[in-house]
Chain A
């Protein structure tokens, strides 16, 4: 018990320490407290409302909700891993604690905090929704507590089992991409629902309920509904599953504590690139080669490209009106939007380099040098984006119903990309910001630089939109031959942007370096 109290206090002082002297974080913490409270109330109320539904549907609803809670408990701490020091067993390896004490302590520590308490409160809504009479309540309260324990142990088991992997570089790289992809995939059912592809919601719910019937969350829900001896038996099964998970967790913990730390050393070799012989020599080629390697190897760059492609695809399908394609704009619009979305990455060209940008800063001695640097970045981006936009144009033309629109769409999109790159190179030197070291779904900039990130992408989008009108508008209105002018127009825009940006950027190279190397 003392260990549990100690760990809870450790966690609380870690939270306090993290907030000290930083108004932004304090505000963030207060907001998160309020949000947790609101979520607790809303979750409780929503779950309780299931009581109004017919009892079968209510049961299925609560089962699904319980399962979603359990899944959330497993996934969310994984994405936030490293933010909470009480969760990493390796940090506690040197303290004279038995594994059992450690397990109790970490269990208590993970139960403390606004969000765990909020989810416990929300889970209690299940009792209100399902309990019949005092017997149901008597079973319901332990059922909710057991389910809470189940969530905690499952989450601890997964983080502990993966903590070795998460401490290696490759593991973290992989997780960063998987987490963002997972987040994007969550949108897919949403889209499908919007397009009216799903069947009868009640039937979907019923089959989900059947599927979850014999899982611990489902059993907990049924225990509350059944009450009596049947409920009691189900509770015993849930409790047994908690015990099994806890045993597994203790075993994983024991193993994690004695396993050598694999975070250093290892890591495979990369193949020497053969493409460099096709690249121009000197600074231009160096920058292009580096940028292309980063697009492949740096998880943040990969995530940026993946989400740009994903967002473009979403546009393509959601822009198609119910009446089907009506005119060439149905093909050209999505292609141009894809160009803008991909071009947005050019709005903070130096962000991915971050703290290593000093290498360029000490080498660049003239505005011309910076122009070459920018040109290299644009060229590398074009190497990736031009084929992607061609693909997007073909796809958009096919979706819109006329493949002949593809060439005009591709030409226009390439032109828009050029405009976006030109505008982006200016925002890159005017409002540069640091990409956080650890990619997360909620912030694209280092603490305190959210404003810059927002300003930079909004400005790029708006200015690109305005500057692209002379080429995009006539094409969309049906003058498709106008598209031949798009690529030269885009190239000139990119060139002018680079020229302007090099002059501004060279004068403030040290400030640029500071802005992209903020601690995250």
Chain B
């Protein structure tokens, strides 16, 4: 059986800067996978290329065994995406956004309405469903974005920083929905730099640093008895321990 996601030598550069320098990412089917790495490691660029939003300069990407760039018909219908930066149609209401996304994918209108109702209820957005997305808070935007990504029941879901800036209550809702989703055999790939969360949720981890995957595998293989945070800091190399300088900081010095 093919892996849910498999890339080979994925490469992208912007001008002189190599953003992604030969990434071999593997995510087995049915896993709840975390893609972790410091800022600027290339997580967003990798996810954009995998989801067909950014053209790679080199390498291959397969989702469920189909090449994303050569065979988009077999891929696009079966993936759901929540890209970075909450880029949504601001002037639609939450409900209209879901309807739009569902209809784009050719789902009949009454079926879209039924699914939207349920998603809005689960995401606790039923009250705000007729407000414009531009007036939503960050947590609400992440939730409506996730709802839009789930509406066509994708087999693989790609989420870029889904928990960033989300309050604990909304985060809990997101987690519950995603857990149910993976329990049914679907795959979730999400990027984050909150290690505790990745440790709690994921059974598969890929660690990126400076445009490369530096470790990947089942969670326990990657952390090897340490916390994921310690393993991560070892893998990416700690940059300064914050003890040199700053002698004036703290009580007892002049302000």
Binding site for B on A (CB under 8 A): 169, 264-273, 276, 281-283, 285-287, 289-290, 293-294, 297-298, 353, 355-356, 358-366, 509-511, 513-514, 517
Specify the chain A residue showing the minimal Cβ separation from B105: A363
| Nearest CB on B from A438, distance (A) | 14
Interface residues of chain A: helix, strand, loop or mixed (majority) = helix
Specify the chain B residue showing the minimal Cβ separation from A300: B91
- Whether the Cβ atoms of A360 and B55 lie closer than 8 Å is no
- Whether the Cβ atoms of B101 and A285 lie closer than 8 Å is no
The 8 A CB mask of B109-152 against A (1 = contact, 0 = none) is 10000000000000000000011101101000000000010000
Specify the chain B residue showing the minimal Cβ separation from A514: B54
A228 to B91 CA separation, bound complex (whole angstroms): 61
A273 to B52 CA separation, bound complex (whole angstroms): 32
**CB interface residues, B 42-82, toward A, < 8 Å:** 51-55, 72-73, 75-77, 79, 81
A74 to B93 CA separation, bound complex (whole angstroms): 35
Known: A297-B91, A356-B87, A362-B81. A510 touches B53 (CB 8 A): yes
Q: How many residues of B contact A (CB 8 A)?
A: 39
For A517, the chain B residues whose CB sits under 8 A away are 87
Specify the chain A residue showing the minimal Cβ separation from B72: A365
- Whether the Cβ atoms of B135 and A283 lie closer than 8 Å is no
For A359, the chain B residues whose CB sits under 8 A away are 88-89, 100-101, 104, 148
Known: A281-B108, A282-B106, A359-B89. A272 touches B130 (CB 8 A): yes
B103 within 8 A of A: yes
For B72, the chain A residues whose CB sits under 8 A away are 365-366
Give the top 6 A-B pairs by smallest Cβ distance, nearest first: A267-B135, A286-B103, A269-B130, A355-B87, A365-B76, A363-B104
Known: A169-B135, A270-B131. A510 touches B52 (CB 8 A): yes
A355 to B83 CA separation, bound complex (whole angstroms): 10
| Nearest CB on A from B119, distance (A) | 16
For A294, the chain B residues whose CB sits under 8 A away are 91
Task: Supply 13 further A-B pairs (C-beta < 8 A) apart from A356-B87, A364-B104.
Answer: A269-B130, A271-B130, A286-B99, A290-B96, A293-B96, A298-B90, A358-B81, A362-B51, A363-B104, A365-B72, A365-B77, A510-B55, A513-B53
A353 to B88 CA separation, bound complex (whole angstroms): 9
- Whether the Cβ atoms of A362 and B53 lie closer than 8 Å is yes
Specify the chain A residue showing the minimal Cβ separation from B102: A286
For B137, the chain A residues whose CB sits under 8 A away are 264-265
For A356, the chain B residues whose CB sits under 8 A away are 87-90
Specify the chain B residue showing the minimal Cβ separation from A276: B109
For A358, the chain B residues whose CB sits under 8 A away are 53, 81, 83, 87
Known: A266-B135, A282-B106. A298 touches B52 (CB 8 A): no
